[in-house]
Amino acid sequence: MKNILELNNVNVSFHTFAGEVKAVRGVNLHLEKGESLAIVGESGSGKSVTSKSIMRLLPEKTSEIKEGEILFEGRDLTKLSNREMEKIRGSEISMIFQDPMTSLNPTMTVGKQIMEGLRKHQNLSKNEAKERAINLLKLVGIPNPELRINEYPHQFSGGMRQRVVIAIALACNPKVLIADEPTTALDVTIQAQILDLMRDLQQKTGTAIILITHDLGVVANLSQRVAVMYGGTIVETGTTDEVFYNPKHPYTWGLLSSMPKLNSADKELMAIPGTPPNLLNPPKGCPFAARCPYAMQVCVDNMPDVTDVTSTHKTACWLLDERAPQVEPPEAALVGGAR
């Protein structure tokens, strides 16, 4: 299938009083039409910065895309003006943010907030936009949409507000939908409903989804491919089955080991010791080396090359070098039947 979105050697920095924070370093990713890609990792790994770079939503005065290209249908988004990006945001690429209460304007009815994008990007009349907004509320599972379209965000529960945010994101039939921690602020039952809704909507609309999350359970339920991010870099990519059942990077092992499993309720969860690297002065070698129990001197001194495990599975780790010692993943990282 043809890639609808490609990130090639993307580097993003923030300029602070303490110095330059190199938040994203040499990221390469692609997204095919209609597929779902999850980007996972700890807080501070660069997931949200990567997604906001695609949308060009980073603050202009304090951040910059220093290098690389972000190709959407062959157009480099980093070269577009703000006015050109405004035509793409919400229309062809949309974003769902993690907190629905702060994503919605409390002074406007939800109907007006859905209609706003429709009238701007699709030139619909007020009545046409209202009818489309009602259909969108119905599509995302909000009962009595003809009445609720006139209500304000505070009159909706957290789960219903997130459904409204999804309706706004889907209003103009975007080709790419970026969901940044879409279920973080919701309880477990509502999380499951929102994930079912997103899976169902993707099947109906064919929209490609980038899911930003630290929750591996969410990944297993929604995504076809996974990119594991650490220290501003991509350390492993592959299909969901490859990353869950045949992980190759020690950081991925650590993430999987820290995931609760149904058959191990009485066991203590594993934790990755140490802290993420300081990106004011990023390490010259593998960013995970300082926390990796298998690190060698070469890991500290040199950034590893990306190794092809299969045609779809790639890992940046010196342990895959033929000269490295043979290391097996810890038992806790073997997902087995946990999915």
User: pLDDT at position 267, please?
Assistant: 64
**266: pLDDT strictly greater than 60:** no
**269: pLDDT strictly greater than 80:** no
Instruction: Name the residue ranges covered by the structural domains of the chain.
Output: 3-223, 230-333
**Separation between Cα atoms, residue 10 and residue 68, nearest integer Å:** 4
- Whether 238 contacts 225, CB under 8 Å: yes
Q: What is the arithmetic mean of pLDDT over 199-224?
A: 86
User: pLDDT at position 214, please?
Assistant: 83
Q: Using pLDDT thresholds of 50, 70 and 90, give the confidence band for residue 115.
A: very high
User: pLDDT at position 232, please?
Assistant: 96
Per-residue pLDDT of 6-28, as tens digits, reads: 999 999 999 999 999 999 999 99
**253: pLDDT strictly greater than 80:** yes
Q: What is the arithmetic mean of pLDDT over 258-270?
A: 68
User: pLDDT at position 338, please?
Assistant: 41
Q: What angle do CA 140, 93, 96 make, to 5 degrees?
A: 45
Q: What is the arithmetic mean of pLDDT over 118-126?
A: 86
pTM over 0.85: yes
**1: pLDDT strictly greater than 60:** no
Note the CATH architecture for domain 3-223.
3-Layer(aba) Sandwich (3.40)
User: pLDDT at position 221, please?
Assistant: 80
Per-residue pLDDT of 123-171, as tens digits, reads: 888 999 999 999 999 988 899 999 999 999 999 988 889 889 988 988 8
User: pLDDT at position 262, please?
Assistant: 62
**261: pLDDT strictly greater than 90:** no
Beta bridge partners of 89: 93
**294: pLDDT strictly greater than 70:** yes
Per-residue pLDDT of 44-85, as tens digits, reads: 899 999 999 999 999 989 999 999 999 999 999 999 999 999
Pick from 92-101, 134-143, 233-242, 275-284: least confident: 92-101
Q: What is the arithmetic mean of pLDDT over 93-109?
A: 86
